[in-house]
Structure 1
Amino acid sequence: MSDSRYPPPLSAKDPNSFAYPTMKDRVPVILSKVVDHLSRHRDKIVGEAGEAGREELKSIIGSLSQLRYEVMTNKAAAPLRDSLRKRQDSGDELKWFDSAWLWMECYLYRRVYEASQMSSLLKNLDVFADQKQTAFLNSYKPISTLTMYLLEASHALTQAAPETELSRYFSEFLQMSLWGNKCDLSISAGSENSQVNCPLEQLTKLKPFILIDDSHQIFQSLSNTKLHGQAGLVDIILDNAGFELVTDLCFADFLITSGLASKVRFYPKTFPWFVSDVTPEDFHWTLKQLGSMNQAWKRGQAD
């Protein structure tokens, strides 16, 4: 039941809301791109699974096509069919445009995951993997710039950089991690959204768009724990794969190198979520790519 003390939850019923173009435009496009990719690359995806895998992929494509139809025609939300816990509705019928938008969009990605979970041979299929990997590869130049800058900062820290320089580096890497979110593939409906500009050059231009900046207080807190020999754990909740994940990794590396943290713990998503969110497979794939692309790293290993 709704609580009269609060406004009703945002839904796609309102054409002037953010929810409306999400359900009307972005979600159908996202699903269309996935279905198209799976159809065009079915031989590669099925691999050695043979005809049984081909039939399972056909079923997955059918489920995602049905999901797109349900969204576009505002059908009632179908019960989840796989073994994970089902949400019990409070009584009202849940519909794509009429019900709370945030719940419905989360439910959408749960249905996408369900499509592969209903199979036997393709349970580990990430239907968004190709888009995430392409986003990384198309961001090669800014990724290279960022990792080289990290090496520069790390070298400065080994030379006992003053507190002001340490604070500046901290603020820069934190802001680059923040603005990496511009590469969100769900907002762009899965369209090309790679980082193309130098991330360092953008910081000054983007700073006025930060609504609340507590970075100085965070730095002071980490510095105080370091000063007392108690530098501890920093948790990073991962969002998007591709360039944003690289900014998170660079920030984590800086925290360890500077001594502002003794350990950084990463939290990925357990299954493919909102197109570009990081799964454990994305995390390890990215580390492997960084190891093979960074020429400075290669030279260091050879020396």
Structure 2
Amino acid sequence: MPRLAYVNGRIVPLAQASVSIEDRAYLFADGIYEVASIFGGALFDWPLHLERMARSLNELQIRAPMSDAALRIAAERLIRKSGVSTGMLYLQITRGAARRDHAFPDARTPPGLSMIARPFDFSRRVPEQQVGMTAITAADQRWSRRDIKSVALLPNVIAKQAGKEAGAYETIMIDPDGTVTEGSSTTVWVVDRDGTIVTRPLSHAVLPGLKRRRLIGLLEDAGETVAERSYDVAALKDAAEVFVTSTSSPVMPIVSIGGEAVGDGTPGPASLTACRLMWEEIERQTGWTPRAGSPGGD
């Protein structure tokens, strides 16, 4: 399988891909990104990614490098040439390359666009979902505009590394007032003792996760009670169930936090329902399922 990258209009071998040392993403983390899942060669929920990307660009006053239609053509061409059937597409847009100066460069400076498609075995998530994963908590040290999908991810990196060193799947971040925000790379959900499925309301404090957006609709259509409200670390640890969502883990039950069991220490019914609903939606959109021999399966 060729390792390729799209860089500012050209598809090149990954080892030869490069951007200017004056690109503002390198100098100032002045850019945004998206990560979309690929199932059977098809992009999942791509219109939602375009919508969120446009919002992030608008918030940072970065011009879109091309039209949505042209971007889709470029992304699908890269996926096809890379030979990726099931995996992820990473897309990054920056303010472009210009002499180092904190203020924005001339408006005529072209934005930078790069993309990489790489394989990822989503089918491995199924056995992981059946047993669940672990998490720890850590202080949320990020900036105040977490709703923008910025490439400035150093606090997330530090939190993820802390989880890795603790042998945990995810690090759940806590604001100074004790409010749960989100995971280092996931949206966090809790299930109350009364069975209500709860996740944080959208604000500048959290990223508008696309799996979050999709799953709220799926759960409500299935008759589940969903509430968008803030909750603190005490409620997190007292929850009957906890699960997280993200591009690489569409839904993942969390069965212990900081070494303490969540509920009875196994994935609960609401978490497993969420897993099932997401796989069904992926199949509906793309025809892919994690079952062996399914269309587009690896």
Question: Which protein is richer in helix relative to its size?
Answer: 1
Larger radius of gyration: 1
Q: Which has the higher strand share?
A: 2
> What range is the shorter-chain TM-score in?
under 0.3
Normalised to the residue count of structure 2, the TM-score between the two structures is 0.26
